[in-house]
Amino acid sequence: MKRLSCVEEVSGVIPLTIKRILNGEPPVIYGDGKQTRDYLYVTDTANAAVKIYGNKKTRGKVLNIASGQEIPIETLIKMIAECLEYNKPISYEQPRPGDVKRHVADICLAEELIDFKPIVSFEEGLKSTIEWYKENLKNCI
């Protein structure tokens, strides 16, 4: 059985794309890249968890902790490529079966109950994530 790297073990489009580009491989988009995702930086997620824990009004409730903003996969991958100064073609592959077309969360209840608002912009969080991988990827391979 093949041993997975730490990036593959918790795979997601962001770490996989960064890893591919840093390893000299083209990034991959499955389908047309128009499918969307809702990204939130880890510190915003952690801060929300602390607020939820400390607020009794959240007990028994389901709160979406997200940005409430849709980012197309194609836009995301092009942003990563630009940050890493990758100028070569992007590889487009067949769509994956069962891939979700749209993913965006309604964060209204989190705003109401814990005054939740993302602090880190998508662009800032992405740049921080890319920098982390550039510094730490060698430890994951």
pLDDT tens-digit map of 119-136: 999 999 999 999 999 999
Kindly report the pTM of this predicted structure: 0.85
93: β partners: 30
Q: What is the reported pLDDT for 137?
A: 77
Q: Are 111 and 68 in contact (CB under 8 A)?
A: no
Q: Residue 69 above 90 pLDDT? A: yes
Domains of the chain, with CATH numbers? 6-136 (3.90.25.10)
Calpha distance 45→116 (Å, rounded): 10
Strands 28-30 and 71-72: unpaired
